[in-house]
Amino acid sequence: MLAFQCKYQQVCRKCCLPITVTARNIYSETSSWPQKYKKKTRVDIERHWSTKLSERWKKAQETPKKNDKPKFYCLSMFPYPSGKLHMGHVRVYTISDAMAHYHRMNGKEVLHPIGWDSFGLPAENAALTRGLDPAEWTEQNIASMKHQLMDLDLFFDWKREISTCSPEYYKWTQYLFLKLFESGLAYRSKAEVNWDPVDKTVLANEQVDEDGRSWRSGAIVEKKNLEQWFLRITKYSQSLLKSLGELNEDVGVKAMQRHWIGDSSGTYCRFSVKINGKTLTNKIPVYCTHPTYVSHGSHVNLQTSNLPQLANLLEDNTQGDNKTIMQAIAATAPGQPIDGIELVNPFGNENLKLVISNQYCEAHDKALSVLGLPVVNEDDLEIAKRLDFPIKMDKPTLSEDEALAKIKSLGCGEGYLSSSKLADWLISRQRRWGTPIPIVYCPEHGAVAVPEDELPVILPKYHESLDEWEKTTCPKCGSHATRETDTMDTFVDSSWYFFRYTDPHNSSEPFSRELADSLMPVDLYIGGKEHAVLHLYYARFFSHFCADLGMVKHREPFKHLLAQGLIKGKTYRVKSSGKYLHPDDVLEKDGKYLERSSGHEVETSFEKMSKSKLNGVDPGDFLAEWGITITRLFVLYAAAPFESIDWDVKTDVIPGVMRWQMKMWRCVSNLRKSREKGEVITEVDKIRELKLAQHTNNAIAQITTLFDTSCTLSAAITLLMTLAKDTSNCPSSIIASSPHYERSVCAQVIMSAPLMPHFASELWEGLRSMKSKLTDFDWDNHVLDQSWPKPIDLGQQTLHKLFVKVDNKHCTVIHHSNTNDDPEALQKLTLQNNTVLSRIKGRKVTEIQNNGHQIEIHTDCCDVTKSSAS
């Protein structure tokens, strides 16, 4: 038994040794067109065109680009090199490949790059488990996955390939960090963090599940206070909120971004803390919902969930009062002020009580505390009255801009509007496999930036001790200093990679502004919906920042975001225990599923593919069974890109796309065969021909719209299937001598080329060798070099509908091109129609009524003679 493997070299399933196959079954190699499309034909087509298309693409990449073409930047989110592709990868890269082909065929210079998001904790843990250096492990994985992507014949621009763990890349990540540091947007602060005790690193809130466990290790997360590096993304919340309108998307991504950012109408102001009258060195950030009313604060609200955070924040600064203050915090009931703690309002230096209050927990969930303002909030007014706090109800004396400027001049805040739902981005990670933070610590000057001409700060080898690597000198004074050992969150690496693709080999700057301005923004960005909040927000933040530095012209990096859905695998679980089972361990009997070994009942569902659920599908296995074309069509046709796919080969997806292929094969076969005869088209054939031409026009218009707007390729395939059915049922007279038929078949092959380039390439070769061509396609070139079809002008040729009734019952609708509604011609056309004749059944026609749009035929129902009614 034969299988596909590695570009469909045939191998034996039993011993996996290659089998030499000398037989050929396709026109491209035999110059003889097989009338039937069989499995072996499919195998030979992909084997032949896999090589040809790869050679063709390599040659195209070496050809100088034409600057007069409009650009199209098609970007799919680059993969993490885990070592093996999963079906999610196959889906996203097949979509991007199809879209890139489409825009090339529309005369655009397409940028379609690929690279590797190659830093991160998973690689580090996997390498350590195997006793390897993460760099070695990562490079092996990249080589493996690159080979898999090439086996799928995806047309990526490999000359632009990047890897975030390469010093040539992370040098510029460090450069951008230094620019943020110089701008005051990168800062170090003590903060309560999520600590994974197993992986021994900080986790973002989004990396902790609802049970308080690490997303990766599964360990219960601990809370710690550590000095960490942050990026002040809150400063850009208004800018990012305002420009959301420039993003085109289909599945609510903008709403998700708006919800994530929140309303940017308040500001943070740091209040000094007094413990039993003693002022501490640390200050507490207080969110002020109305900057003009900071001086009107009556108290500060602190929600109960933030009590541990406050305790940790004060713990190192309470000196001898530590135990007493912790007890006071723990003993305070909701709605009451904490004894012994006061916050000093920088606007007037008034001492305000800290009140336990949950009124703001939903509206301002990221804020540690919120200033109570009775003048604008009824709940705060009620608290102030109940606790007898001073209340100010007069109008503000400062405008919003003046209040923000005062906050900045007093040194108690940054003086910009931000959202309380958004926190600054904590980027420190306590692991080795990441971009080193380019900062050194000097006893005299504190945190000092590494000079740009000393970048990159090279990551030490994993087996090397950090002791020597840490030792350095201060760039300012030359005295002994130590390096920062934290590395950056990998989201930093992926927040600017789309810029690097525009100029991937630049050794003097992250990218050329000229190139970035000419190729950005990304016209179509394709990736998982799970990245539509964090990654998208961080990437937009970096883009806005680079625009402010004058590095790029476009603030928004992406025009259209296509967030594709998950691919879900069929999951089997023992009903009584919940244990996951491999499909091979499940038996289907009488419509029920049972565990093969025990006979216990098994429940099935579709869930996100994962190793733990034993529901993954190996792309290599599916590819070996079905080949590249069916694999591509399955992920494109099974659902719209933004919908999830329930992966089940028993559905009608595979039979459906194979029937479509066979219809297209039949159309080309019939066209080649019938064109030898040169038959004459009758009046009825001309009407059918015109109907086909209009159907083709409509299909081209609709498919083009689907590619251009929603990228709903599943719907485009459905339209192509319908058109193929129409053309495959045409009579031989039209097939032989109709230019409209030829145009329809050629247009179908061209429009299918982005979706299934191997199969379309073979069909096109068959059409190119056809005799007596009646259309003016670019017959000298490959199908992927054809211009995308456009609807043609049919002039005055339009089809009209004629409704026919026989004996007061609807019979049929006849399409005709008689623009003058000639009664005699319409009557003749009606009485020649096979459906009408079948309904009359030889009865005598006693009356015909014709109003131009409807003909009513009456017969002598009692007359059963076979005399002709006409």
Q: Is residue 176 predicted with pLDDT exceeding 70?
A: yes
Band of pLDDT at residue 128, cut at 50, 70 and 90:
confident
CA-CA-CA-CA dihedral for 542, 255, 711, 566, to nearest 10: 90
Closest CA to 722 of 756, 751, 754: 751
Q: Would you say residue 679 has pLDDT above 80? A: no
Instruction: Point out the least confidently predicted range of 104-113, 319-328, 370-379, 725-734.
Output: 319-328
747 is a domain residue: yes
The CATH number of whichever domain residue 662 belongs to comes to 1.10.730.10
**Cα distance between residue 27 and residue 763, in whole Å:** 9
Residues 514 and 628 grouped into a single domain: no
Tell whether 196 is covered by a domain.
no
Is the domain of 660 the same as that of 719? yes
The CA distance from 710 to 524, in Å, is: 11
pLDDT at 860: 84
Task: Report which residue type is found at 430.
Answer: Q
Q: What is the pLDDT of residue 530?
A: 82
The arithmetic mean of pLDDT across residues 557-577, rounded, is 92
- Shared domain for 666 and 738, answered yes or no, is yes
In 3-state terms the chain splits into helix, strand, coil percentages (rounded to 5) of 40, 20, 40
Nearest to 204 by CA among 533, 589, 628: 533
Q: What is residue 576's three-state secondary structure?
A: coil
Q: Is 235 exposed, middle or buried (0-12, 13-18, 19+ CB in 10 A)?
A: buried
Within a domain: 225: no
Please report which helix (H) or strand (E) contains residue 667, including its range: helix 653-674
pLDDT > 90 fraction of the chain, expressed in percent and rounded? 59
Residue 208 reports pLDDT greater than 90: no
Alpha helix segments (H runs only) across 252-306: 253-261
Bigger pLDDT: 190 or 397? 397
pLDDT of 444 reads 93
14 pLDDT higher than 80: no
State the pLDDT confidence band at 366, using cuts at 50, 70 and 90: confident
Domain stop point among 388, 409, 430: 409
pLDDT tier at 675 (50, 70, 90 boundaries)?
Answer: confident
pLDDT average, residue stretch 686-695: 87
**In one letter, which amino acid is 110?**
V
d(CA 331, CA 326): 9
Q: What is the C-alpha to C-alpha distance for residues 716 and 637, in angstroms, rounded to an integer? A: 9
Residue 7: pLDDT band with limits 50, 70, 90:
very low
Is the per-residue pLDDT at 837 higher than 90? no
Which has the higher per-residue pLDDT, 756 or 15? 756
What whole-number distance in Å separates Cα of residue 275 and Cα of residue 269? 19
State the Cα–Cα distance between residues 138 and 129, nearest whole angstrom.
13
Inter-residue contact 527 to 563 (CB < 8 Å): yes
Residue 101 lies in a domain: yes
Instruction: Output the pLDDT for position 799.
Output: 66
Cα distance between residue 790 and residue 37, in whole Å: 29
Average pLDDT of span 186-215: 81
- The pair of structure tokens assigned to 369 is 């505390």
428 touches 486 (CB < 8 A): yes
pLDDT, tens digit (0-9, with 9 covering 90-100), for 719-763: 999 999 999 989 888 888 889 999 999 999 999 999 999 999 999
The CB density around residue 122, as the number of other CB atoms within 10 Å, is: 17
Only one residue has tokens 């110059």, namely 31
Residue 561 contacts residue 536 (beta carbons within 8 Å): yes
Q: What is the mean pLDDT of residues 495-521?
A: 98
CATH number for the domain spanning 549: value is 3.40.50.620
In terms of Cβ atoms closer than 10 Å to its own Cβ (0-12, 13-18, 19+), residue 507 is exposed
**pLDDT given at position 833:** 84
**Shared domain check, 633 and 509:** no
Residue 636 contacts residue 714 (beta carbons within 8 Å)? yes
C-alpha dihedral, 603 to 608 to 614 to 618, nearest 10°:
130
Distance CA(586)–CA(208), nearest Å, equals: 34
pLDDT at 823: 79
Token readout for 477 is: 């004074």
Residue 870: pLDDT over 50: no
The tens digit of pLDDT for each residue in 699-709 reads 999 999 999 99
Identify the residue whose tokens are 């099974």: 638
Confidence label for 863 from pLDDT (cuts 50, 70 and 90)? very low
What is residue 408's three-state secondary structure? helix
- Range from 84-88, 228-232, 321-325 that averages highest in pLDDT: 228-232
Domain end, chosen from 721, 750, 785, is at 785
Q: What CATH number did the domain enclosing 805 receive?
A: 3.10.20.590
Q: Where are the alpha helices (DSSP H) in 106-156?
A: 121-129, 134-151
Q: Does residue 455 lie within any of the structural domains? A: yes
Q: Are residues 167 and 38 in the same domain?
A: yes
**Token output for 863:** 């007359």
In a domain, 359, yes or no: yes
Same structural domain for residues 286 and 309? yes
Q: Look up residue 476 and give its amino acid.
A: K
**Both structure tokens of 383:** 């608290």
Output the pLDDT for position 2.
Answer: 32
Q: Which has more pLDDT, 808 or 511?
A: 511
CATH assignment at residue 403: 3.90.740
Report the alpha-carbon distance of residue 392 to residue 396 in Å, rounded: 10
Tokens for 618, please give them. Answer: 């190996």
755 Cβ neighbours under 8 A, 6+ residues apart? 98, 632, 633, 636, 713, 716, 717
Q: State whether residue 515 is helix, strand or coil.
A: helix
- Compute φ and ψ for 680, nearest 5 degrees: -100, 140
Same domain, 600 and 559: no
Domain ends where: 409, 429, 447? 409
Q: How many residues does the chain have?
A: 870
| Tokens 């360990």 sit on residue | 219
Separation between Cα atoms, residue 422 and residue 379, nearest integer Å: 23
- Residue 190 is predicted with a pLDDT of 80
Query: What pLDDT score does 465 carry?
Result: 85
User: Which domain does 592 fall in, by range?
Assistant: 573-638+640-647
* Beta strand 428-429 pairing with 439-442: unpaired
Tell me which residue of 349, 285, 292 sits closest to 313, measured CA to CA.
285
Backbone angles phi, psi at 586, to 5 degrees: -115, 140
Residue 796 pLDDT grade (very low, low, confident, very high; cuts 50, 70, 90): low
- Written as six digits, the tokens of 684 are 């009825």
Calculate the average pLDDT of the chain: 88
Does 15 have pLDDT greater than 50? no
Which residues, 6 or more positions from 673, have their beta carbon under 8 angstroms from its beta carbon?
Answer: 35
In this predicted structure, what is the pLDDT of residue 230? 95
Number of compact structural domains in the chain: 6
Instruction: Give the residue-averaged pLDDT of 573-584.
Output: 90
Instruction: Inform me whether the pLDDT recorded for 299 exceeds 80.
Output: yes
Same domain, 378 and 505: no
Q: Six-digit token pair at 539?
A: 């990437």
* Structural domain contains residue 211: no
What is the pLDDT at residue 4?
41
pTM: 0.86
Looking at residue 868, its pLDDT comes to: 39
Which of helix, strand or coil describes residue 854? strand
807 and 770 within one domain: no
Residue 358 sits at φ, ψ, to 5 deg, of -100, 15
499 and 478 housed in the same domain: no
Of 831, 821, 825, 820, which Cα lies nearest the Cα of 856?
831
- Per-residue model confidence as pLDDT tens digits over 602-652: 999 998 888 778 888 889 999 999 999 999 999 999 999 999 999 988 889
C-beta of residue 397 within 8 angstroms of C-beta of residue 292: no
Position 745: which residue type? V
CA torsion sign for 724, 728, 730, 736 is positive
Per mean pLDDT, which range of 180-184, 572-576, 814-818 is the poorest? 814-818
The pLDDT, as a whole number, for residue 175 is 98
pLDDT given at position 867: 38
**Which of 521, 605, 523 shows the shortest CA–CA distance to 556?**
521
Mean pLDDT across the stretch 226-238? Answer: 92
Question: CA 481, CA 445: separation in Å to the nearest integer?
Answer: 10
**Residues 37 and 159 placed together within one structural domain of the fold:** yes
Cα 568 to the center of its chain, rounded Å: 16
Higher-confidence residue of 770 and 162: namely 162
- Answer yes or no: are the C-beta atoms of 314 and 275 closer than 8 Å: yes
**Using 50, 70 and 90 to split pLDDT, how confident is the model at 654?**
very high
Residue pair 43/4 in contact by the 8 Å Cβ criterion: yes
At 506 the three-state DSSP class reads: coil
On whether the CB atoms of residues 300 and 343 are closer than 8 A, the answer is: yes
Q: 528 pLDDT band (50/70/90 cuts)?
A: confident
**Segment 473-476 long-range contacts (CB within 8 Å, at least 24 positions apart):** 473/440, 474/440, 474/442, 474/444, 474/445, 474/448, 475/440, 475/448, 475/449, 475/450, 475/451, 476/442, 476/445, 476/448
287 and 398 inside one domain: yes
Q: Is residue 711, in this structure, part of any structural domain at all?
A: yes
**Tokens 């230019």 found at:** 739
